[in-house]
């Protein structure tokens, strides 16, 4: 995923996030399905896959089914997989032309550490600079990746002014029940969500090419 020219050409943010997982030794042993099935709250890829509206294909004695990534992660190390099912694939829709997508990983200890907060920002702009699509998913701050579609929708059809971006960041910071661990307290994580959601939206908007 990290090195694939197909992935880098089609959905660069996917290659980027998988290149930020731990270190090369871990990445050589890990699998995409394993990352999903483990449902580790501090893993990098889940927040990106939630923001990209990925589908998780699973298979068991009862047959095959597909689960939206947003519904796949239920709690700490708990997923929507039945006890007799396995992950067989992950499908990611292509983004519309001109869409900017980024993943910002904020670490508090070492460069190889798992994130204190990880934020995915996706922005598509119309010719007049108004927002056609905006998505934000926050990982590592709570038990599961957090995405609030009503907060995203507040930006549709509007210019991404500082006030609009700050309003979305505040909505995420206020609504996420942040956790405490060795990478940061709940209070600290809340403030970092506020900061990094703003930065992710700004970066995604800067990478977007207005269309239409």
Place of tokens 């070492």: 110
Q: What is the mean pLDDT of residues 175-202?
A: 97
Q: What is the pTM of this model?
A: 0.96
Distance of CA 110 to the CA centre of its chain: 21
The candidate with the shortest Cα–Cα distance to 193, out of 142, 134, 124, 122, is: 142
Is residue 24 pLDDT above 90, yes or no?
A: no
At residue 145, the pLDDT reads: 98
Per DSSP, helices labelled H in 59-185 are: 69-72, 149-153, 162-175
pLDDT tier at 112, thresholds 50, 70, 90: confident
pLDDT band at 94; cut points 50, 70, 90: very high
Site of tokens 């700050």: 166
- Considering only CA atoms, which of 119, 117, 115 is closest in space to residue 101? 119
Rounded Cα distance between 67 and 80, Å, is 8
pLDDT value at residue 107: 95
The dihedral of CA 37, 105, 171, 133: what is its sign?
negative
**Res 27: pLDDT:** 87
Is residue 121 within 8 A of residue 151, CB to CB? The reply is no
């Amino acid at each position: 995923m990290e090195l694939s020219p197909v992935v880098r050409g089609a959905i660069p943010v996917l290659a980027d996030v998988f290149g930020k997982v731990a270190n090369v030794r871990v990445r050589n042993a890990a699998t995409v399905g394993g990352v999903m099935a483990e449902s580790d709250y501090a893993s990098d890829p889940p927040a990106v896959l939630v923001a990209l509206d990925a589908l998780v294909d699973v298979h068991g004695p009862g047959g095959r089914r597909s689960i939206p990534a947003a519904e796949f992660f239920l709690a700490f190390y708990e997923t929507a997989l039945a006890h007799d099912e396995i992950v067989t694939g992950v499908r990611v829709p292509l983004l519309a032309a001109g869409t900017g997508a980024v993943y910002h990983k904020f670490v508090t200890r070492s460069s190889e550490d798992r994130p204190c907060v990880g934020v995915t920002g996706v922005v598509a702009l119309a010719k007049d600079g108004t927002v056609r699509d905006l998505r934000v998913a926050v990982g590592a701050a709570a038990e599961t990746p957090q995405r609030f579609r009503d907060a995203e929708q507040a930006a549709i059809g509007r210019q991404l002014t500082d006030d609009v971006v700050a309003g979305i960041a505040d909505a995420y910071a206020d609504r996420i029940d942040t956790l405490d661990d060795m990478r940061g307290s709940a209070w600290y994580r809340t403030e970092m969500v506020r900061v990094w959601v703003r930065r992710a939206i700004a970066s995604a908007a800067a990478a977007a090419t207005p269309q239409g």
